[in-house]
Copies of this chain bind each other. A is one copy, B any other.
Amino acid sequence: MTSNRLEVTFLGKTIKNPIVAASGCYGYGLEQPELLPPEAFGAITLKGLSATPKRGNPPPRIAETPCGMLNSIGLENVGIEAFAKNTWPHLRGLGVPIIANFFGDDETEFQKAAQMLSDLEGLFAMELNLSCPNKPQWGRILASDPKVASRLVRLIKPLCRYPLIVKLSPNVASISEVAKACEDSGADALSLINTLLGMAIDVDAKSSRLGTRFGGLSGPSIYPIALRMVSEVSRAVRIPIVGMGGVSSPEDAIGMMLAGASLVGVGTLLLVNPFGVEEIKQGMLAYLDRHGLEKVACLQGRL
């Protein structure tokens, strides 16, 4: 059996491989059970959920950019209640660790969402999204200020029945400052990076190519930024990191682990090349062989 060579430990649990579906790029995990089965992943992060359903932003919501894409989905979701009733029963039985990404439009909603998710049976972890660039309701990206982030983590952590992962934003001067603030406030793990705030213009129409003015940049173009931030944060904190942002090849995923990530998130890749998940896992095994390493876990932070 080669498969347990990809095993890693994360938040006290054995995860069968380090590849995690990033939030918002694999829906609720059940959309394409044959094309890209949930079991391919070490863990799955769900599309961001909130206490009440959210409409999201007006289309167009996607604009391609060089080696990347902007999205302005705006956290459309069915709400935790509908999710718990209609989707969770189907997901639970799969045996794949599920991370529920969540948010609110204000503090009360954040708290409410944390409570509602804690009422679900069988989650693996909860991921607090403080870093969506498409929430004008927030006034600013919450994770761009260490004080704001810290306050929210402190508020929410006590309500969480499951380990709390805090998702960080790259739209900051010093991501390790925010990372430390979150660690000090009780975060069990960190995930980074969310998208970079960007813009695309249709020059002929003289307007945004999105239904909103700005959107969030993801995909291969942001990989160098994500890798740097993972490297920086991994030296600044002791809690584990889910590294993501533009990962699209085995080398990218290995790079993330060398830079200090425990798990590697893939988002935009899933939209483009679902088979990429298998390619990454195979490529990791080949790399282990080439370098005479026993387990992928050996790579972590080896840079």
| Residue contact B227 to A201, C-beta cutoff 8 Å | yes
Interface residues as binary, A197-224 with B (CB distance below 8 Å gives 1, 0 otherwise)? 1111101101110000110010111111
Of the listed stretches A64-72, A105-113, A183-191, chain B binds A64-72
Chain B residues near A224 (CB-CB < 8 A): 65, 68, 70, 196, 198-200, 217
Chain B residues near A18 (CB-CB < 8 A): none
Complex CA–CA separation, A24 to B21 (angstroms): 39
Chain B residues near A213 (CB-CB < 8 A): 231
A298 to chain B, nearest CB (A): 11
50-82 of chain A: CB within 8 A of chain B:
65-68, 70
Query: Looking at A224, A246, A302, which has the most chain B CB atoms within 10 Å of its CB?
Result: A224
Complex CA–CA separation, A173 to B254 (angstroms): 29
Chain B residues near A197 (CB-CB < 8 A): 225, 228
Copies in the complex: 2
| Residue contact B303 to A207, C-beta cutoff 8 Å | yes
| Residue contact B287 to A251, C-beta cutoff 8 Å | no
Chain B residues near A221 (CB-CB < 8 A): 65-68, 220-222
129-155 of chain A: CB within 8 A of chain B:
140-141, 144-145
**B145, B206, B225, B251: which contacts A173 (Cβ < 8 A)?**
B145
Task: Assess whether A258 is interfacial by the CB under 8 Å rule.
Answer: yes
Chain B residues near A258 (CB-CB < 8 A): 201, 203, 206
| Residue contact B66 to A203, C-beta cutoff 8 Å | no
Chain B residues near A206 (CB-CB < 8 A): 258, 302-303
| Residue contact B254 to A203, C-beta cutoff 8 Å | yes
A106 to chain B, nearest CB (A): 20
Nearest 5 pairs of A and B residues by beta carbon: A198-B224, A221-B221, A66-B220, A67-B67, A199-B228
